[in-house]
Amino acid sequence: MISKLKITTLPRKKLIRSLVITLAVAIVVNLLFVSGILTRLEWISFDQRAKIFRADKSAPEDVVIVMIDQSSLNMMNDSLGRFPWPRAIYGDLLDFLALGKPRAVIFDILFVENQKETGLNKGRRSVRLDPNDQRLVNASKKYPFVYHAMEMLEDVADEDGVALKARPLPNDFVRRFGLEVPPALIFEQYNRYGTPFNKLYQASAGIGFVGLRPDDDGVYRRTRLFDSYQGIGFPALSVTSVIDREFNIDKAWQESALVIGGLRVPIQADGNYLINMYGQFSEFSIGGIFASINALNQGQPEQMLIPPDEFRDKIVFIGTSAAGLQDIKQTSLGLVPGVLAHAAVTGNLLAQDFLKTSSMGTTIFLVFFFSFLTALAILYAPAFIYQIGLPVLIVGIYGSFVFWQFGQNNVLDLVAPVFGILSTWLSMALFLTFTEGKDKRKARRMFAQYVSPEVLAEVVDKYDDQVSADVGRRERVSILFSDIRSFTNIAENLEPEAVVEMLNTHLGAMVEIIINKRGTLDKFIGDAIMAFWGAPLRMEDHALRAVEAGLLMLRALPEVNEKMREKGFPEIKIGIGINTGEVVLGNIGSEQKLDYTVIGDRVNAASRLESLTKKYLGSGLLISGTTYEDLKDEILCARVDMVRVKGKQETMVIYAPLAMSSDDREAVDLTKNSIKLANEAFDNYQARKWKLAHDLYGQIPDLPWASVMQQRCLEYQKKSPPKQWDGVYSLEEK
């Protein structure tokens, strides 16, 4: 027999009030949406979708990157010195690329100033272009596929507060590269520019601007395909190689779109283009190219690492990725070199790979629709479980649809409709709680005459299912694990009463320190302690407090052991591990027993760190790199190792906190010296300088892990790790 759900019936007055509340909620949510208050949350949602669908997406094969990366800087330092390099090398680079006949070579490097060499000519002083600059100019002029970068800036006022007058562009620059621009594309009132130096722009096939601007949260998601300086239009660097010289912006501009070469490119209402990023590009290190140039010059083409044919018919971007060159951008896919954003736009144009955004009107309609759908689902739900489950189901279905649509390059707003669903859910829950509370009181007065208090409680107070546990949330916290060394062996030689007394002596002292440092005691696991900082009381310095607690626990151990000796117990040693990161926090368990606790990989990592103290310290304190980054200015720490624990691919840098900045000055100075030697030894170890690292570790015998690293250096001297070794030590045990 199939049982039918009984649909709740509502009085008309209650239904009307519910729908009025829902209408008010939807209006408020739409006002928040239109005013931009929800924009940052929408950006976060967009970034998550991009990471899922675009992180593994490869850019079109027609777009390649030549990257000035850190390895290139290191490799070419002996011959060229520090960056920026002499510009003649870019001429050599262009000659090499030209052998492959690329479609375009685009420099995402600003050559604004030129160097001038002064000489004498028949008694008169003359100024001629520096040979390095001349080499770049000649190569750019020689090849009709070389494009250079410009920037347009707005200086609001000088140091005296006086507004700056706009500098006009050179006439020949405007005549050659300027475009007609419609009023709809005049966004900024720029008053300063940076173009390639005179002879270089005269030799260029085209010029594009590089003015990427972040959104208000500092993430680069959008760009302008065209912009203007004093009413003169210019293409972005990403566009300049795909338009012809006769391109007219005014004729190409249409409502919410640009037409480029017959291709309709969607533009947002504010004139920006939403970049459809790629997670994978065909990248070549410039160091590898110059190694290939050297092989070619020496008559050994078979020794070339990168043949010129790799660039045939390709659009080649030349940019930087080394952190010190300051062109790293935070994008939807994380931190990437800025040149990848320009290359992504070019890839979008070539592959017609555009993101199409929904209109504001569509989102407003969805907010109203889902708010009323949620209200009706709650009002007519046959039981409390459905009142909870149906809104969750609606959010799940819509969220899945939004993510699926992103995979089809359609961007729907997620936050406002979901916020409408959740706000309606909360408002209706409060409304029903209030109205049902009145019904409960009425029922209590009525049934109290007929039933016992126990039955009354069952009938009136527990007529709905209860929520089994608090909803969890994600929090960034610092987790501490502490464990007594070899406690099982110690406990085997003691009576049960003595074991309990011994544990209480130790745990009482340690917990007092944790509580004083405002930590949350999670649980005891036998002789182990688990605690965390950052919840439920949120604090910015949770990592610092956790590590201070760990150091104080170690410093309190001698006093604890003194009490142990007085009671006839053996002395103990402890290991402590601390990690910082995002966890799931909440009441976890059943209706009968709940624990307020944290779970996740960051928790497991803290436990692994505690275990690692056995290997590196015997006993003591180890912290992760994420914890160290939060407190490195407050706690003196030495790098111990970079490890990959069993069963995990993620690498973890581990540090040993040695002192607090508030400690005795003489002790701090000695600690700083030991840390300097330890860090220098580890750098040499990672550089495969085993003998030097071994000797440096020998100078710091007071650091317990020095002997471990010395032994490893000796082993590597006998048998080096493979060439692809990344400096990470893989642990075989958990």
Indicate the pairing of strand 334-337 with strand 232-235: unpaired
Structure-token match 């390709």, residue found: 314
**Could you state, in order of their start, the residue ranges of all structural domains in the chain?**
12-48+358-461, 61-121+142-351, 473-631
> How high does pLDDT run on average in the chain?
84
| Per-residue pLDDT reduced to its tens digit, 11-64 | 566 677 778 888 888 899 999 999 989 999 999 999 999 999 999 999 999 999
| Per-residue pLDDT reduced to its tens digit, 320-370 | 988 777 788 999 999 999 999 999 999 999 999 999 999 899 999 999 998
3-state DSSP helix/strand/coil percent for the chain, to nearest 5? 45, 20, 30
| CA–CA gap between residue 379 and residue 387 (Å, rounded) | 8
| CA–CA gap between residue 38 and residue 48 (Å, rounded) | 16
| Per-residue pLDDT reduced to its tens digit, 526-569 | 889 999 998 877 789 999 999 999 999 999 999 999 999 998 89
Q: What pTM does this model have?
A: 0.57
Sign of the C-alpha dihedral computed for residues 255, 259, 263 and 269 taken in this order: negative
Report the pLDDT value the prediction gives residue 415, as an integer from 0 to 100: 94
Q: How much is the average pLDDT of 116-138?
A: 69
Tell me the CB-side half-sphere exposure of residue 699, using CA atoms within 13 A. 16
Tell me the CATH number of domain 473-631, given options 1.10.10.60, 3.30.70.1230, 3.40.50.2000, 1.10.10.10.
Answer: 3.30.70.1230
Rama region for 727: left / alpha / beta (φ>0; ψ in -120 to 50; rest): left
Contact 652, 645 (CB under 8 A): yes
Report the pLDDT value the prediction gives residue 509, as an integer from 0 to 100: 93
Report the pLDDT value the prediction gives residue 4, as an integer from 0 to 100: 39
Indicate the pairing of strand 328-331 with strand 206-209: unpaired
Phi, psi of 602, rounded to the nearest 5 degrees: -65, -35
Side chain identity at residue 89, one-letter code: I
Phi, psi of 448, rounded to the nearest 5 degrees: -60, -20
Measure the CA dihedral 313/319/322/324, to 10°.
Answer: 170
| Per-residue pLDDT reduced to its tens digit, 490-516 | 888 888 888 999 999 999 999 989 988
> 3-class secondary structure for 19-59?
HHHHHHHHHHHHHHHHHCCCHHHHHHHHHHHHHHHHCCCEC
Kindly give, in sequence order, each residue whose CB lies less than 8 Å from that of residue 496, ignoring residues fewer than 6 positions away: none
- pLDDT above 50 for 135: yes
Contact 65, 283 (CB under 8 A): yes
Picking from 655, 623, 620, the residue whose alpha carbon sits closest to that of residue 641 is: 655
| Per-residue pLDDT reduced to its tens digit, 149-202 | 999 988 766 555 555 677 889 999 999 998 877 776 666 678 889 999 999 999
Higher pLDDT, 15 or 233: 233
What percent of the chain has a predicted confidence (pLDDT) above 70? 85
Structure-token match 């581990």, residue found: 654
Coil vs helix vs strand at 581: strand
The token pair that represents 722 in the structure block: 């493979």
Q: Please provide the distance, in angstroms rounded to a whole number, between the alpha carbons at the two ends of the chain.
A: 54
| CA–CA gap between residue 130 and residue 452 (Å, rounded) | 102
- pLDDT above 50 for 445: no
| Per-residue pLDDT reduced to its tens digit, 600-654 | 999 999 999 999 999 998 889 999 999 999 988 889 999 999 998 877 778 899 9
Contact 582, 479 (CB under 8 A): no
Exposed e or buried b per residue across 643-668, where buried means at least 16 C-beta atoms within 10 angstroms of its C-beta: bebeebeeebbbbbbbbbeeeeeeeb
446: pLDDT confidence band, cut at 50, 70 and 90?
very low
416: pLDDT confidence band, cut at 50, 70 and 90?
very high
